[in-house]
Chains A and B, each alone.
Chain A
Amino acid sequence: KAGVTQTPRYLIKTRGQQVTLSCSPISGHRSVSWYQQTPGQGLQFLFEYFSETQRNKGNFPGRFSGRQFSNSRSEMNVSTLELGDSALYLCASSATGGLVGANVLTFGAGSRLTVL
């Protein structure tokens, strides 16, 4: 069973540009969550999608957005990049969106974004 796949794994952008990151969940999983990991702020929740609907959103500015497609694949977009957006962006999927029982989060390897 394939795991959570994130693309690209590494990318470099400059300030002011925008970026789109992609996440393919485990087959059959309908919930996709995104987390930002930085040395200073640690792991922070960005948002969660379930059946193409955003169900939760963390405390991030509107420059951070996402969407989920009918096949459960998800993308997140960051517009007008700032230096502080440099981070590892982790995607995680779960079967139905809960976090216990069989519905634990399975994480991908992440997309490492560097903003110059």
Chain B
Amino acid sequence: AQSVTQLGSHVSVSEGALVLLRCNYSSSVPPYLFWYVQYPNQGLQLLLKYTSAATLVKGINGFEAEFKKSETSFHLTKPSAHMSDAAEYFCAVTLSGSARQLTFGSGTQLTVLP
């Protein structure tokens, strides 16, 4: 069975600082990995996905993530935080491109300080 662990349920950064949200996966086979963002009272929006092509994945809103098999990690980064980045972020995994369900991490609430 696959799973993801998000380290840090709450992360605070200053506006303009680097954003780093951590995600480690557990999987017996190469996984497909996703990052979603959730703003208050809204659903989930896909930021980016890793599907076994390039290990460095660029997403929307300036976010990117790097798949590191040796570290079983898929950390999300953004060079410079903006106030509008404040939201909850979820890492998710599935084992197959044809799979039809995601297993989500517990989420990381990002606060951006002025």
A116 → B minimal CB distance (Å) = 20
A84 contacts partner chain B, Cβ-Cβ < 8 Å? no
Whether the Cβ atoms of A104 and B49 lie closer than 8 Å is yes
Interface flags for A77-94 (1: CB within 8 Å of B; 0: not) read: 000000000000010100
B84 contacts partner chain A, Cβ-Cβ < 8 Å? no
A11 contacts partner chain B, Cβ-Cβ < 8 Å? no
A25 contacts partner chain B, Cβ-Cβ < 8 Å? no
A68 contacts partner chain B, Cβ-Cβ < 8 Å? no
- Name, among A45, A56, A105, the residue most crowded by chain B CB atoms within 10 Å (CB to CB): A105
B42 contacts partner chain A, Cβ-Cβ < 8 Å? yes
Chain A stretch 1-33: residues in CB contact (< 8 A) with chain B: 4, 31, 33
B114 contacts partner chain A, Cβ-Cβ < 8 Å? no
B74 → A minimal CB distance (Å) = 15
Q: Which residue of A lies closest to B103 (CB)?
A: A45
Q: Which residue of A lies closest to B45 (CB)?
A: A107
Q: Within 8 Å CB of A104, what residues of B?
A: 34, 46, 49
Chain B interfacial residues counted at CB < 8 A? 25
Whether the Cβ atoms of A55 and B42 lie closer than 8 Å is no
Chain B stretch 29-50: residues in CB contact (< 8 A) with chain A: 32, 34, 36, 41-46, 49
* Given A42-B106, A99-B32, A109-B41, residue A31 in contact with residue B97 (CB < 8 A): no
* Given A42-B107, A100-B97, residue A4 in contact with residue B43 (CB < 8 A): yes
Whether the Cβ atoms of B90 and A31 lie closer than 8 Å is no
Whether the Cβ atoms of B43 and A33 lie closer than 8 Å is no
* Given A43-B104, A45-B102, residue A99 in contact with residue B42 (CB < 8 A): no
Chain A stretch 25-74: residues in CB contact (< 8 A) with chain B: 31, 33, 42-45, 48, 50, 55-56, 58
- Name B's A-contacting residues (CB within 8 A): 32, 34, 36, 41-46, 49, 51, 90, 92, 94, 97-107
Could you list some 11 contacts between A and B, CB below 8 A? A33-B101, A42-B106, A43-B102, A50-B100, A56-B101, A90-B44, A92-B43, A99-B100, A100-B32, A104-B46, A105-B44
